[in-house]
Amino acid sequence: MLRTIRGFKDILPAEIHLWQHIEETARKIFESYGFSEIRIPIVERTDLFRRSIGEVTDIVEKEMYTFSDRHGESITLRPEGTASVVRAYIEHKLYGGPISKLYYMGPMFRYERPQKGRYRQFYQIGAEVLGEESPRLDAEILEMLMRFFSHLKLAGTTLQINSLGCRICRPGYKDELKRYLGGKRGVLCEDCLKRVEINPLRVLDCKSRGCTEATSGAPSILEHLCDECRGHFHAVLDCLQTAGVHAVTNKRMVRGLDYYTKTTFEVTAEGIGAQNTIAAGGRYDMLVRDLGGPDTPCFGFAIGMERMGLLLKEATELKKPLVFVAVFGGDDVHAAGMDVIDRLREHGVAVERDYERKGIKPQLKRANRLGARYVLILGTDELAAGTIAVKDMEAGTQEVVSLEGIEATVVKKIRT
């Protein structure tokens, strides 16, 4: 049997309404904060990700789907969206206008070990603000993200926040952390022994027992921030408090991408197992310049769709109620039936029908199997009387109503 490749999956109709509901909610909320959608390519030059995410990150070192195209150029399936948004921002000189607030949704690709909540193709909804440095912006975007979760009625989320400093204060902290970790070499895992030299901050994020123990007493970045970064961090916390957004400071939190500066954060959720981070992001004030654009302070995040799906699986029925139109009789009855179906669809009602002109019984059976909420029954007698029967499949009741204006009658029933 032909199957999807490991780590890839189909999203079938049973799940799709939940996905669409999440996407529609994101559009509605993000647009109310002034965001517009941007659609970026799935494939980019490999170099873009090397230069943005960082050469010595797990993503670039071992997780990218990188190929040569037919001309021998190295191209990569995007592992995340920020790099492409920044590339587009520079390429199309979007910096000429006011601040840009852009969101995107779509698949990302990382060659990771598949497990619950972790796939090789996964979907993200991301948002990026380019051209604003104020801590008030950081707080507003975090507020927007938490509003998005609360509109989805997601309970048990925690916003964890930290600062990673900047190119002035981070090197000093890195050195101190390196010295501290130097004395702990005996207990660090193999990966982290390498990380101590090139990227000691990443050790703070390691889940292995030796490393967690070793770093429990490590110096904190928050005590090493320069005045500018410290001021920014406290301003973000103040604004969040004013906005009523609860945040927990986590001085051990670092991110797996090199471009972050100042504010970084993660949102975790309860009840979905080990892969419990549903969104992450922060400030990246140097990336636009590093990729060849003008100095542009930025802030962004990405939400993991599959993990949201796991959380909302039990959510209320989101599917549009289905109406089945059962027609039996001669050609004139079928013509009238088609007219009813047409009018309902014009009014946005989801309609199913029978294609084989079967009797009433098999049609009702089909309506039942399709999970129809209402069945409209039109036969020779009804047509002659200018009426149509409406069967409520949930209540098991049936009434006869006027054929004229049936679309309005049905729309009203569905809405209440």
Stretch binding ligand ATP (CB under 6 A), from 184-192, 225-233, 272-280, 394-402: 272-280
279 binds ligand ATP (CB under 6 A): yes
**Kind of pairing between the strands at 74-77 and 65-68:** antiparallel
Task: Write down the least CB distance from residue 268 to ligand ATP, Å.
Answer: 9
Element of type H or E holding 256 = none
110 binds ligand ATP (CB under 6 A): yes
Task: Write down the least CB distance from residue 272 to ligand ATP, Å.
Answer: 10
The sheet with strand 248-249 has its strands ordered as 36-37, 100-109, 121-130, 298-304, 277-283, 261-269, 157-163, 248-249
Q: How far apart are CA 189 and CA 181, in angstroms?
A: 12
Nearer residue to ligand ATP within complex by CB, 59 or 336: 59
Nearer residue to ligand ATP within complex by CB, 110 or 366: 110
Nearer residue to ligand ATP within complex by CB, 83 or 221: 83
Q: How far apart are CA 163 and CA 260, in angstroms?
A: 9
Considering only residues 284 to 313 of the shown chain, the ones binding ligand ATP according to CB under 6 A are 302, 304, 306-307
29 binds ligand ATP (CB under 6 A): no
Q: What is the DSSP string of 173-241?
A: HHHHHHHHHHTTGGGS-HHHHHHHHH-GGGGGG--SHHHHHHHTTPPPGGGG--HHHHHHHHHHHHHHH
280 binds ligand ATP (CB under 6 A): yes
Do 208 and 215 meet the contact criterion of CB atoms below 8 Å apart? no
Stretch binding ligand ATP (CB under 6 A), from 13-21, 150-158, 270-278, 357-365: 270-278
What single-letter DSSP state applies at residue 167?
A: T
208 binds ligand ATP (CB under 6 A): no
Q: How far apart are CA 180 and CA 269, in angstroms?
A: 32
Q: How many residues does the chain have?
A: 416
Q: How far apart are CA 367 and CA 393, in angstroms?
A: 9
Do 109 and 44 meet the contact criterion of CB atoms below 8 Å apart? no
Task: Write down the least CB distance from residue 145 to ligand ATP, Å.
Answer: 12
Tell which residue, 309, 312, 304, 307, has the closest CA to residue 81: 304
250 binds ligand ATP (CB under 6 A): no
Considering only residues 335 to 364 of the shown chain, the ones binding ligand ATP according to CB under 6 A are none
Q: CB nearest ligand ATP: which residue?
A: 304
Task: Write down the least CB distance from residue 108 to ligand ATP, Å.
Answer: 7
278 binds ligand ATP (CB under 6 A): yes
Task: Write down the least CB distance from residue 303 to ligand ATP, Å.
Answer: 6
Quote the Cα angle for 209-212-218, to 5°: 155
Task: Write down the least CB distance from residue 132 to ligand ATP, Å.
Answer: 21
54 binds ligand ATP (CB under 6 A): no
Choosing from 250, 277, 387, 409, the residue that interacts with ligand ATP (CB under 6 A) is: 277
Do 311 and 278 meet the contact criterion of CB atoms below 8 Å apart? yes
Cross-strand pairs, 374: 323, 392
Token representation of residue 47: 């170099």
80 binds ligand ATP (CB under 6 A): yes
Nearer residue to ligand ATP within complex by CB, 124 or 215: 124
Task: Write down the least CB distance from residue 121 to ligand ATP, Å.
Answer: 8
Stretch binding ligand ATP (CB under 6 A), from 109-117, 184-192, 365-373, 389-397: 109-117
Tell which residue, 81, 95, 8, 93, has the closest CA to residue 49: 81
Do 353 and 324 meet the contact criterion of CB atoms below 8 Å apart? yes
377 binds ligand ATP (CB under 6 A): no
Do 124 and 276 meet the contact criterion of CB atoms below 8 Å apart? no
Nearer residue to ligand ATP within complex by CB, 221 or 280: 280
65 binds ligand ATP (CB under 6 A): no
**Kind of pairing between the strands at 261-269 and 298-304:** unpaired
Choosing from 119, 284, 299, 328, the residue that interacts with ligand ATP (CB under 6 A) is: 119
122 binds ligand ATP (CB under 6 A): yes
Nearer residue to ligand ATP within complex by CB, 264 or 363: 264
Q: Total residues at the site for ligand ATP (CB under 6 A)?
A: 18
Stretch binding ligand ATP (CB under 6 A), from 43-51, 181-189, 273-281, 291-299: 273-281
Residues that bind ligand ATP (CB under 6 A): 80, 110, 112, 117-119, 122, 124, 256, 275, 277-280, 302, 304, 306-307
